[in-house]
Amino acid sequence: MSDPVRAARRQQQARRRRDVRRRRAIGLGAITAIVIGVGVALAGGTGGGGGGDTPAAPPTTTKATAVSGGSTASSAGTTTAAAPLRNLTIGWAGDMVPASSTIALPSDPSSLLANVSDTLSAPDIMMVNLEGTLTDGGSSKCGAGSSNCFAFRAPPSYAAMFRRAGIDIVNQANNHAYDYGSSGYADTQRAVRQAGLKATGAPGEVTVVRHDGVRVAFVGFASYSWSGPLNDPAGVRQLVGRAKDRADVVVAVFHGGAEGSGAQHVPQGDETYLGEDRGDLRRFARTAIDAGADLVVGSGPHVVRGMEFYKGHLIAYSAGNFVGYGGVFGLSGPTAISYILEVTLRSDGRFRSARMIPTVLNGSGIAEHDSSGQAIPLVRSLTEADFPSTGARIAESGAIRPPA
């Protein structure tokens, strides 16, 4: 046999051996993939039938996908890999009296939020301060012939409209949550639940919202018996600490401070209004952050206030009047200027970015986007005056960053 023939046969045999090895490798790879896939499927299936196993993270969505009253702990002896850090956007709008049957109700309730629903729907979790009740019953706190007393109630059906507009959670820690007593408060909570919303702000209440596998706890504070204890630093530390134990991110929301056009600045020390102690808001915010809060947002003065950073965490002292149909709030000047706040945090609570979206109350008290952007220079000037060293740096675009 000639050498060229032998060489050709050797090459052919070598190719056959390579083909065999390749087929074996492909077969082993397929078997390995099947085994791994079965293991992952079995691991993902544990925990759905009870016990303490943590459920698999839900798929990414644009809004909060699941809500609970607390966190789910991993079972003893189970080692869970740390979840990758991700970004989470939380929205906040200020005082909202959507409408009140004691003043006026719009013919189309959806008009109250229709102009800003695009912005309300944008954050992963959107929160507002609900000033008033959602009830058709109860007895008003305002007696017959009383003056300078306001009690607000809107139909319970409004809760579903809130949800459709993009709101996920409401704060009830404020001075109007009990305008119609305990029954009106209970009616409001029932309407909120039935609409698929959540509420926070009751004494000892920690409301946990889960989004994209991240647990976010909301706790509400005001200076009333039906709310978290705004004026009790030990109570603030305890409630925020409980929230921190149950969640990855903690948002503390407060309703406090004096009210009106003359209350735009955040003073040192306690504020009072109509004989009520409305809190030392600087002390409260720092206490909450020291206890574990990652973001502190406020309402109550019915005007915008400045912003500052403390230990790298944003404090927004007031976003102003968001909605107040029928002249509930002043419809001109400082009481008509507001904004929606968007804050992006890492899933470990670290600040990433924030921005203001200016809004304004129109002639009916309905929220609209403010093309003139009045809130941005106003909040910037208030910030520079009240927090010269710790104040947020606010760009003309409304972008917010920590001080250098």
pLDDT in tens, 245-287: 999 999 999 999 999 999 999 999 999 999 999 999 999 999 9
Per the document, the length of the chain is: 404
- Integer Cα distance of 94 and 122 in angstroms: 16
The reported pLDDT for the residue numbered 238 is 98
Say yes or no: 23 and 161 in one domain.
no
Say yes or no: 169 and 273 in one domain.
yes
The reported pLDDT for the residue numbered 64 is 67
Say yes or no: 17 and 121 in one domain.
no
| Tokens, residue 40 | 């992952």
261 part of a folded domain: yes
| Tokens, residue 109 | 């309730």
How many domains does the chain contain in total? 2
113 part of a folded domain: yes
78 part of a folded domain: no
CATH of the domain at 218: 3.60.21.10
23 part of a folded domain: yes
Say yes or no: 319 and 219 in one domain.
yes
Say yes or no: 162 and 29 in one domain.
no
54 part of a folded domain: no
243 part of a folded domain: yes
Say yes or no: 26 and 160 in one domain.
no
| Tokens, residue 101 | 């049957």
Tens digit of each residue's pLDDT (9 = 90 or more) over 69-82 = 443 333 344 555 66
pTM of the model as a whole:
0.81
The reported pLDDT for the residue numbered 100 is 86
Domain span at residue 32? 1-39
The reported pLDDT for the residue numbered 249 is 98
- Integer Cα distance of 95 and 285 in angstroms: 18
279 part of a folded domain: yes
Taking the chain (404 residues) in runs of 10, the rounded mean pLDDT of each run is 45 49 43 37 36 34 51 41 86 92 90 97 98 93 83 96 98 96 96 98 98 97 98 98 98 97 97 95 98 98 98 98 88 94 98 98 95 98 98 98 95
The reported pLDDT for the residue numbered 147 is 77
Say yes or no: 95 and 23 in one domain.
no
60 part of a folded domain: no
- Integer Cα distance of 116 and 404 in angstroms: 33
Say yes or no: 32 and 101 in one domain.
no
Q: Which of 360, 367, 338, 353 is nearest to 88 (CA)?
A: 353
